Amino acid sequence: MIIPPPKYVSPPSTWKSKLLLRAWSVLSCILIAALGGSIAAMKGVSGDFMIVLGLSLIVPFVWGIADGVCIYKRPGNRGIHPGAVVAIDLLIWLGLGFVTLLVGATGMASHPQRLVDDLYYRDGRYVGYRGDDDDDADIPELLALVDKIRGRGRAVVGFLAFLVITHFVIFVIGCSETHSRNRAPKTVYVVQPPTYANGQPQYQFLAAPGQYPQQQYYAPQQQQYYAPQQSFQPVPVQPSAAPGVEPKQEAQSQAQAGPERYS
């Protein structure tokens, strides 16, 4: 059985910090939406700003819940892949930073009078309509409304700033985890093929991390038997000498006896 390489697991201090930051991010989104909604619900206030504010809170809210659930439920408290964390949180803190500047510099915190429908700018100050009368003057109720918008608007800007810092810290943690993941030693598995009785050499198959090595089976080679080839060459046969007679004398006696046989 082939066991896949172990996944990168963050230290307990790291994943606990990420979980707390994700929880704070989700809570901040809820508080910002509640404060912005309370401003938009005021009588005489234009709620167009909630379109930009609400859209900017959807992504960090959903992303924070998704990563928090993964950290809490996955084995080893592993969240979403660090590469995805780096990419998404980078976009989040950059986008929220722009929204914070927009709201803080030109929105409800610095110029809350712009959100009140019954106020308009004249002679260097904001004045309100007094019913059907053409004369304009400062209306105490509208000025009190402006003060409420200013106070809650500053709270919205403050929570947005904390939200930007939160996602920037998570972005830095994601960069650190990605660096540690890339520097982790690569796990290589060696799989031995089956051994055969004919002494066939062994082969090793290497597999990169995250891949399963494929076993290749080699059929045993059939042994071939060859019959030994015998070579026949003429060999001169010498007559054996009689006991007690030298070979040379025996040859001479046979040469002399030869003519006598045919005489």
pLDDT confidence bin for 43, thresholds 50/70/90: confident
- 260 within domain boundaries: no
Name which of 159, 172, 160 is nearest 18 in CA terms. 172
Cα–Cα distances (Å) from 159 to 56, 124, 136, 236, 257, in that order, read 13, 31, 36, 118, 141
SS3 56: helix
Provide the 10 A C-beta neighbour count for residue 18. 22
Give pTM, 2 decimals.
0.61
Q: Distance between CA 118 and CA 124 in Å, rounded? A: 16
Tens digit of each residue's pLDDT (9 = 90 or more) over 100-112: 988 877 667 777 7
Residues facing residue 121 across a β-bridge: 126
- Domain membership of residue 3 (yes or no) is no
Whole-angstrom distance, CA of residue 194 vs CA of residue 14: 45
Residue 131 lies in a domain: no
Domain that holds residue 85: 12-111+151-183
Kindly state whether residue 136 falls inside one of the protein's structural domains: no
Strand partners for 254: none
Per the domain annotation, does 179 fall within a domain? yes
The structure tokens 């045993």 sit at 220
Residue 81 lies in a domain: yes
Question: Is 82 contained in some domain?
Answer: yes
Instruction: Please give the structure tokens belonging to residue 261.
Output: 């046989």
At 191-244, the pLDDT tens digits run: 666 665 555 555 555 555 555 555 554 455 555 555 555 555 555 655 555 555
**How many domains does the chain contain in total?**
1
Distance CA 125, CA 186 (A): 68
Strands (DSSP E) along the chain, which ranges?
119-122, 125-130, 133-137, 189-191, 205-207
pLDDT at 136: 45
